[in-house]
Amino acid sequence: MFQTLAISHAGRVAITTVVVIAAVFLFLWLALGLVFFFIALGSKRREDETVPSKNSLFERNAENKNLIDGYKWYDENYKQKVTIKGTHGKNLHGVEFRNPSNSNVWVICIHGWTNVKREMSSYAMEFYRRGFNVIIPDLHGHGDSESRFVSMGWLDRLDIVDWINNIVQENPKSKIIIHGVSMGAATTMMTTGEKLPENVVLAIEDCGFTGVYDIFLDQCIRKYHIPPILVMPTASFWNRIFNGFSFKKASTIKQLEKSVTPTLFMHGDKDDFVLFENLDKVYNACAAPKEKYVFHGAEHAVSSHWFHEEYWSVVDAFIDKYLAPVYANGQ
């Protein structure tokens, strides 16, 4: 009898030990995921837009003439802060450059991860010089956004739809181009998977990724050297808590499969952040009319800065191909 009680006591101790170890492991697992979530998706707001993020492409290319010209243009040209009400109930913020040409063509320029509106200035300047109106919105967790966390394009796609609908409401004859770089490119592609008004004529994506899960999986392995199982499931869990979606749900590929918007896909073949292999994956997934272009020797998100004339000749040809027929048909 005493031996049986002793064994039962030992068993209870063993079970308690296992439960405690499991609880500690679960706590650490959730904590690691939470740390990764805040590193990747915590607020990226900056008090001073003129100071680039440390080690960013804008800091590394601070002497690039095209960047400098864009900053000067942004700082010296008249721009208006714009705010619209998003369908999710929060206000959406951005800056608007109305062209004196009275064009009815609007370009929505979409920034990348950790970036600010001013860092899209070189792109905005080029579109503006072509006679177009330009809007640069703040994405979730950036700039003046009222959202606390970054969504890597997934929730932003719905905000871009709101910006599009606002333009169309003000100008029913408007023609709209969506252009984005890096996370902005993913946002662009994700947006094209939504039901858009016919006013959206074309989209241009520059070095975008295939999905939120894919980009974080790659970063875990190549940048942080962390076994994905240690952070990916729990970081996605926290993202569901704070952002309302799982990483795998936010698929650029699935959105492109529904797209009817003619899209230009561009990527540098030396990109070591969003790997070059993403280009063929997103291009092949797109159900809409499409073209792709490779900038040989370009690293991440620098194609326009390093190969300026080549970049804009490719963009101009694509715009002419899909915008000119719209006017020719009297639309």
301-328 pLDDT tens trace: 999 999 999 999 999 999 999 997 654 4
Indicate whether 76 belongs to any domain: yes
Please, what is the end-to-end C-alpha distance for the chain in angstroms?
93
pLDDT tens by residue, 210-253:
999 999 999 999 988 999 999 999 999 999 999 999 999 999 99
Indicate whether 192 belongs to any domain: yes
Q: Would you state the pLDDT for residue 2?
A: 42
- DSSP letters of 12-33? HHHHHHHHHHHHHHHHHHHHHH
Percent of the chain with pLDDT over 70: 95
Answer whether residue 172 shows pLDDT above 70.
yes
Answer whether residue 5 shows pLDDT above 50.
no
Confidence class of residue 7 from pLDDT cuts 50, 70 and 90? low
Indicate whether 305 belongs to any domain: yes
Indicate whether 23 belongs to any domain: no
Domain that holds residue 279: 53-211+250-328
pLDDT tens by residue, 106-152:
999 999 999 999 999 999 999 999 999 999 999 999 999 999 999 99
Indicate whether 82 belongs to any domain: yes
Tell me the average pLDDT across 183-199: 98
Indicate whether 109 belongs to any domain: yes
Indicate whether 60 belongs to any domain: yes
Indicate whether 98 belongs to any domain: yes
Instruction: Find out whether 113 and 150 touch, Cβ atoms under 8 Å.
Output: yes
> Which H/E stretch holds residue 262?
none
CATH number at residue 121: 3.40.50.1820
Q: Would you state the pLDDT for residue 88?
A: 83
Q: What is the mean pLDDT of the chain?
A: 92
- Ramachandran region, residue 37 (left: φ > 0; alpha: ψ -120 to 50; beta: rest): alpha
- Number of separate domains in the chain: 1
